[in-house]
Structure 1
Amino acid sequence: MFSATTSDETAPHTALPTDDVLCRWAVQDRSAARVFTRGAAVAVASPALCARDRLVVTGPAGDAIPLVRDVLAEVGRGYRLFGDRGLVDSVVTALPDLRPTSGFGWMDRTGSVAVPPDGTADWLPPAAAPAVTSLLDRAFPDSYAYPGRHGAGDRWAGVLPPDGSGAPLAVAALAWCAPGVGLLAGVATAPAARGRGLGRQVCAFVLAEALAAYGTAALVVDDGNTPALRLYRSLGLTYRPLRAAYFPPA
């Protein structure tokens, strides 16, 4: 059950009053997530969501701006605002103490995705965690998802060398999932193995697993990562521009 304490105009809820996929993803831990509404706007305060305390917001700016102001006063300035780019820009304009981040994207899809018939991607055993960590350190050190990190779990898939031995050449995780939304994260390919379609194999495998288990598969991608955007679009994911905003340290 969701719980919250609020002002008279910002109402708490025991059920999620929107079908927006960002809000559905944010309510992973129903014992910790707090859902607030004001008019047609909805905000979900979710601790340790994808490695940060996040306040996911959706709805019209006229309702969302006072909602965000009230909820941040309630949950604390350590929460990072997360939502559609135009909406976050409007909130930042109205609440100038917030600092916007660079733009990034949410991508998602439903339905099914075909795993390449020659693909060798599969789930890795827990014992592969050090090798996954080593690959991320070399190929994607800024990844939020790492083996053993809170919420990232141990569901890592990979493509091994042709003889099936040694460290994985490409990896991806199914992490920070919520009822109805499976999140792909930690996608990385060893520099020496790039250009061979291994990233596509592991992404297609994890997307297929996410769609089968959750119905919706999603991921977050930087706007400047053109090869990744091209790959994800080719796998049927649709792009949604987002932005975050935060209070700088005092």
Structure 2
Amino acid sequence: MGGQGKVGRQVRAWYSGDAVAVASPDLSKRDRLSVRGPVAELAPLVERVLAEVGTSFRPFGDEQVIRELAERVPGMSFTATFGWMDTADTATLPTQTAKTVWLQGDSGVEELLAEASPDSYAWPGRTGVLRWAAATSDAGELLSIAADAWSAPEVGFLAGVATRPDVRGRGLSQQVCAFVTAELVKRHGTCALMVDAGNAAAIAVYEKLGYTYRGVAAASVEPSS
């Protein structure tokens, strides 16, 4: 048995037995194919889906699943590991000590990102990036920022975290992330984020905010000749 359906905003889903694949175009800078289920059922499903949607869609899922898929699906290569972190608990979030607010617009955000985090996936105006929060100085200067980006009805997503280099070490990123986390948990029930697997400092900050870590990975697929 198998099938497919439209989820919304051009998102499409397929299933076969217990295997599920969801194609999301232009999600966090790339076309993503989120996969879940037993690899024996996923492998033929992913091959069929990629033949339909094209190899621009990068398979994404639990690390071990992606590693096994890369061994089974022709042209697929294991690319990178990440951490998926999420929380539904705001009881342990720190008390706000900095002025942290949702911005009205995104003035100053691009400049801060260009200086502090030029490789950020979240930028003003990018598809799915909804709004920005900032810890600000008394004069209203942006000191540390984070975005509500690519959120879904049941999971809010935190991204675009950046702190001005000259004010690092003051706990401002933790403050702005705590603010966004509380807001997104209140709205969606859960808040999640992605972090590089090797970024121990960032992982430690998020764990202090109550997030738990799960290893995930991505693969790429060569176009068929």
Which of the five TM-score ranges fits, normalised by the shorter chain?
Answer: over 0.9
The Cα shift of 1:150 comes to 1.2
Report the equivalent of 2:69.
Answer: 91
Partner of 2:208 in structure 1? 234
1:159 aligns with 2:127: no
Check whether the contact 2:55–2:222 (CA below 8 A) recurs between aligned residues. no
Residue 75 (structure 1) aligns with: 53
What is the Cα deviation at residue 164 of structure 1?
Answer: 3.0
Alignment equivalent of 1:146, drawn from 109, 123, 126: 123
Answering whether residue 218 of structure 2 is matched by residue 244 of structure 1, we say yes
Assess if the C-alpha contact under 8 Å between 2:80 and 2:219 holds in 1: no
Q: How far apart, CA to CA, are the structure 1 residues paired with 2:147 and 2:177?
A: 9
Kept in 1, the 8 Å contact 2:23–2:31? The answer is yes
Q: Among residues 77, 100, 118, which one is paired with 2:78 in the alignment?
A: 100
Residue 215 of structure 1: aligned partner? 189
Q: 1:10 aligns with which of 2, 20, 29?
A: 2
Q: Would you say the 8 A contact 1:120–1:201 is kept in 2? A: no
Q: Which amino acid aligns with 1:235?
A: L
Which runs of 5 or more structure 2 residues have no equivalent in the other structure?
Answer: none
User: Once the two structures are aligned, what percentage of the paired residues are identical?
Assistant: 47
Deviations 1:11-45 (A, max 9, x none): 2246xxxxxxxxxxxx5xx1411111111111111
* Structure 1 counterpart of 2:103: 124
Aligned to 1:66: 44
In the alignment, is residue 189 of structure 1 matched against residue 189 of structure 2?
no
Partner-residue secondary structure (3-state), 1:169: strand
Q: SS at the partner of 1:101? A: strand
Secondary structure, counterpart of 1:179 in structure 2 = coil
- Contact 1:106/1:239 (<8 A) preserved: yes
TM (norm. structure 2) is: 0.93
> When the two structures are aligned, how many residues end up with a matched partner?
223
Rounded Cα–Cα distance in structure 1 between residues aligned with 2:2 and 2:218: 22
**Contact 1:105–1:222 at 8 Å: present in 2 too?**
yes
TM-score, normalisation: structure 1: 0.84
Structure 1 gap segments, 5+ residues each: 1-8, 15-26
Task: Identify the match of residue 149 of structure 2 among 160, 175, 185.
Answer: 175
In proportion to residue count, which structure has more strand? 2
1:46 is matched with 24
Query: Structure 1 residue 130: deviation in Å?
Result: 4.1
Structure 1 residue 111 displacement after superposition: 3.0
8 A Cα contact 2:27 2:127, kept in partner:
no
Superposed CA RMSD in Å reads 1.6
**What code does the residue aligned with 1:245 have?**
A
